[in-house]
Structure 1
């Protein structure tokens, strides 16, 4: 009996202890570890997925595609989740065109995360997805494609989900691919039982540039050709539609995909700036075409330390020829006659010192404060030294003259489109009248004379009047503030046809090792590209063709321009 009672008590104690242990475990699981285990269960059977969709496309003004995103996928096997059997191995190897033994070897020798094949196309993606095999992942990757292979410098660089430079960076918030996310419940085999929540942010915009693919292609090809002929550090070319202000082409060679050179490059413009001085003098009725200036036979000692020299010695010369032959001495005297009080407002009104675009790297150039100008500064500014400009500023100033004296805003972005929604549609935006229509006509006539009889002869095109001006300046190192010995920046800026301007164009040749002057380097490039544009745009002639000049070699002027 005693033994029986003893056994009963032992069983009783065991039952009580067991109950306490079980109750404690329940308490631990339900109360103490509830949050942890709940989250663990959610991770095991409830998963969130996220996929970044393609970036927006980029088009030219005519709807030709310049950049698009292609999505491809990596096929990945998670070994811990993968159902390893003959059927699954056979199915995957067949779709991916990988031998079964090779596939098995990859899985066996890999760690938990095994990348089976990279960058598969959409048709393969669909077939793999249809298998619904647990542990098989499809990881999306994007790559930018450039069907036309032009305007790459303007477009810039991007990675899968972020713009890194130039247009891709500036308008990244519009181009960025939308993110599609899903909150899913899966069964033990990894199959999606239910989608609890699906969310997506706004789809990206497609961006249309003002660039014309045909003109851009010509500009890039000619820049590359002349880079080989002239052996410069770089060539920069801009083409602007005179009527609208749209930038039809913009390029530099070698191309820079990190910095947009045509709006960031800063340089002393040399004699192309004389056109601004001329415009100010005409508009203020201080000078006229027949005024005579003493060009000092090619050398003028302005003070004890400084002298100005011209390559071509000239004596007393009328302003028309001072401009055509690009005398620095003559224009130094023109600038002094106008005076900085009258001249400075025109420098600002023509847009120098201004920024026109949303691009982060655009420079405003370097224009001295009015109060810092001395006589020597007026002299040097009058032939394009002591002031630094950007290519975009200079071409837009010439476009103002072509537009009868009205400065308009240059456009590079034509519009952004998402479905039926369009924003930012570019339109002709007048900034201000800089000079009168009569002044603009007089300046244009002077520019035509430069091409007919002066330093711009190499820019001629049979059947068309070309208005333009050459420029040559010693190359300034902006970091040291000193000129680079033996280095020049040469240029030509103008518009055509001069009697009814359609396009303006700027050519810059940075430090050619072959030639020294803009008449030899930039003017021929202008003629070449303008001839192509005239042809593809079917621009009507504005003069009779002088057949006696067609086969005659163009005189390569080597004056100080």
Structure 2
């Protein structure tokens, strides 16, 4: 080899050596921080720590009883990279966790460092058996699962919590931010095997607050039992019962049937079942609404209790003929008798004397057309159109509860106005919020609004007592007590908006007792019963049975 060629090879070697040195300098010095950060990122793990969701309680005999609580279950995960015998691991885990072997083996037959959990909601017993397998690469983590001890009875009241910890519907949805608390964060260092070897920083989670409800567990249980029996007895489509303290708006019971099990909400196919009919579904209330129209008429001095008129079997308004329920004339009647016989023609007379504008204003004051503000997710309302747009026939039928749509919670809240001396109260379910530290905060109630005078309320109460004692509400009577109430048998509007369905009705009864100092106001609603036609044979007897139970439960002495 000549000297020139040797010099060339030497120069070429020096060039490659220089380039290697420059590349090494670039990586270790110029880009050293970048690669150190990458390495650090591979060694640092951040993990969210869930807060404990607040519990939901009711009071019973001076003690707190949980309606919604938390269970500790477990999540099973696999790190395929750490498994020695993947096939054997798949066989054991599939057998123990009731998983499909082929699917599981297909997931773990690789060298990945992460897979989504292979099983969730595993109980303590199965978790212990998984642990006993001693499989390296199988990870077990705790998870909080919402649990509802009484299942379907309180489903519409409570709603449910999904697998991501989000509350839906009911109290779980309305108070989600209060109940869920705030997540924490754990920062740790891990080794090459992915195992955490030290903790660098911890931000502890803030647990959610507990709720204590106004619901009385004993009343709730009895209302649900009575309603379920009634739905089955009358072969009805569905039903609702609401019991409220008229002076405060505190809800003592709210039940619907059919319902669902919030512990297995994911099995529900028809999501409409999640809606609480007491607040989320409207209906034309029919004759129970007559007490509202009559209260407006008397309070505005359009009529008095003693106002007497002759009422024929029908009256024509705006080209539409309106009949009494039995298509018979009831002759001369005063306003109490109009309620006793549930006279549609008589109620057309009352609202006619009152006038559209005043009637509209009273309806607004009673809360119709607006949300009640009850502390449950999903409340709806039907807007009350301006009175200027009402047709004459529409205005007339509103007087007996057809052509106007309300929710059960609106109806019982309006009836409470008559029961409590004329004030509109806020219906509510939460009495106290308890912080994780134990500090108790009473829920602030909204200001009450005077809707009718105390004297009007007292007059309507007496008229409603007469309905129960001498009218269509006889089956709501409780021996020894004066019960005030009103029946309602409403037609069901057609889906196309053209008139009403043939042979379909909704029976309801709204009332309170004892009439002179009411401890409760209650609505019973039975949707489309098949074995009876009128509310006096469906909703009224259910109301009577519940009223008897409540008066005994409150240990009230008979006053008659």
TM range (shorter): 0.7 to 0.9
- In structure 2, the residue matched to 1:64 is 65
Q: 1:14: Cα distance to partner?
A: 7.8
1:274-313 matched pairs, under 5 angstroms: 274-296=290-312, 298-302=313-317, 304-311=319-326, 312-313=328-329
Contact 2:187 2:202 in 1 (8 A): yes
- In structure 2, the residue matched to 1:446 is 463
Q: 1:12: Cα distance to partner?
A: 5.3
- In structure 1, the residue matched to 2:158 is 155
Q: Secondary structure at the match of 1:80?
A: helix
Change (3 A) 1:423 1:341: farther
- In structure 1, the residue matched to 2:360 is 344
- In structure 2, the residue matched to 1:557 is none
Separation in 2 of the partners of 1:500 and 1:330?
29
Q: Secondary structure at the match of 2:333?
A: strand
Contact 2:421 2:454 in 1 (8 A): yes
Change (3 A) 1:34 1:82: farther
Change (3 A) 1:474 1:106: closer
Q: 1:520: Cα distance to partner?
A: 0.9
- In structure 2, the residue matched to 1:214 is 218
Separation in 2 of the partners of 1:515 and 1:7?
115
Q: How much is the aligned-residue C-alpha RMSD, in angstroms?
A: 3.5
1:28-107 matched pairs, under 5 angstroms: 28-30=26-28, 34=32, 37-61=35-59, 63-82=64-83
Spell out, residue by residue over 1:180-229, the C-alpha distance to the aligned partner (whole angstroms, 9 max, x if none). Answer: 32111123344433322222453222223322222112222211111111
Spell out, residue by residue over 1:371-398, the C-alpha distance to the aligned partner (whole angstroms, 9 max, x if none). Answer: 2245433321211122211111110111
- In structure 2, the residue matched to 1:138 is 140
- In structure 1, the residue matched to 2:475 is 458
Out of 322, 327, 334, the residue aligned to residue 350 of structure 2 is 334
Q: Secondary structure at the match of 1:210?
A: strand
Contact 2:284 2:404 in 1 (8 A): yes
Separation in 2 of the partners of 1:51 and 1:107?
30
- In structure 2, the residue matched to 1:546 is none
Out of 463, 473, 484, the residue aligned to residue 490 of structure 2 is 473
Change (3 A) 1:249 1:184: same
Greater Cα offset, 232-241 or 58-67:
58-67
Contact 1:469 1:492 in 2 (8 A): yes
1:333-412 matched pairs, under 5 angstroms: 333-357=349-373, 359=376, 361-412=378-429
Q: TM-score, normalised by structure 1?
A: 0.84
Q: 1:243: Cα distance to partner?
A: 2.6
Q: 1:36: Cα distance to partner?
A: 6.1
Change (3 A) 1:76 1:344: closer
Separation in 2 of the partners of 1:33 and 1:114?
34
Change (3 A) 1:348 1:332: same
Change (3 A) 1:324 1:127: same
Specify every segment of 5 or more residues in structure 1 that has no aligned partner in the other structure, as ranges. 544-561
Separation in 2 of the partners of 1:108 and 1:452?
72
Separation in 1 of the partners of 2:158 and 2:150?
12
Contact 1:263 1:362 in 2 (8 A): yes
Contact 1:458 1:520 in 2 (8 A): yes
Is residue 543 of structure 2 the alignment partner of residue 526 of structure 1? yes
- In structure 2, the residue matched to 1:265 is 281
Separation in 2 of the partners of 1:44 and 1:145?
38
Contact 1:106 1:114 in 2 (8 A): no
Q: 1:170: Cα distance to partner?
A: 2.3
Q: Secondary structure at the match of 1:306?
A: strand
- In structure 1, the residue matched to 2:17 is 19
Contact 2:46 2:185 in 1 (8 A): yes
Q: 1:248: Cα distance to partner?
A: 1.1
- In structure 2, the residue matched to 1:316 is 332
Q: Secondary structure at the match of 2:160?
A: coil
Q: TM-score, normalised by structure 2?
A: 0.84
Out of 229, 234, 241, the residue aligned to residue 237 of structure 1 is 241
Separation in 1 of the partners of 2:394 and 2:22?
92
Separation in 1 of the partners of 2:235 and 2:494?
19
Separation in 2 of the partners of 1:350 and 1:502?
20
Greater Cα offset, 156-165 or 447-456:
156-165
Separation in 2 of the partners of 1:133 and 1:183?
26
1:484-503 matched pairs, under 5 angstroms: 484-503=501-520
Specify every segment of 5 or more residues in structure 2 that has no aligned partner in the other structure, as ranges. 260-271
